Structure 1
Amino acid sequence: MAGIDRAAWTGSVRDMTTPFVPETVLPSQLGGRQPQQGERLLLLAVLEDAVDCYRKCRGSRDPALRLLFDETRAWVESRERDTVFSFENLCEALDIDPDYVRRCLGEVGEGDRRR
């Protein structure tokens, strides 16, 4: 390595790897994304799925659909807050009154029975 300048050689290796080093991304660089927007959409999707299951499976004679309804009803009626995705915690995170949702689901069921 008689003709190679050692300082220049190590510098070129360092320069070559620079593009592969990730840059820091600041929250302001994310294009106006609302804080926790993705998390909120996930919670809304969970609630929407529960409402759909409750409405579509209520009164079903199919054992699998009946089981799905029973599980959904138990989740909605539960007052526990021991898990992140408990009904009470989910409603609180979305700033929704859980008792209001319960009343609305009960009214949907009453309307279905009157038909």
Structure 2
Amino acid sequence: MCLDDGRVVSNFVAQALRREPMTVYGDGKQTRSFQYVSDLVEGLMRLMEGEDVGPFNLGNPSEFTMLELANAKELLGWKLEAICIFREGLPLMVSDFRQRLFGDQKDPSINTFSFV
């Protein structure tokens, strides 16, 4: 993902790493579901290898509001228990963004942080 592509998760992660306030549009009650790219690729590969045809939903059926996303208490510990894949993928994204924003900087004070 691009650092500033306008998507909610990349915006939140980049803002949090920069220690900027989170931008929540509207009332924050709009919902989204998230999926890590490796899960989508895995689903596409299984579809291509299988015999079944028809529409398939390869997305994540769990949704939560933008306020729930912005109010998560620990980014790297990600306390949204029902979203295991999201919990595993988000730290990878944070690590990538941190490296692109700050280079090889290893600032221990930004290992975990709270959303405001």
Q: Same fold, TM exceeding 0.5?
A: no
Higher helix content, 1 or 2: 1
Q: Which has the higher contact order (CA 8 A, sep 6+)?
A: 2
Which structure has the bigger radius of gyration? Answer: 1
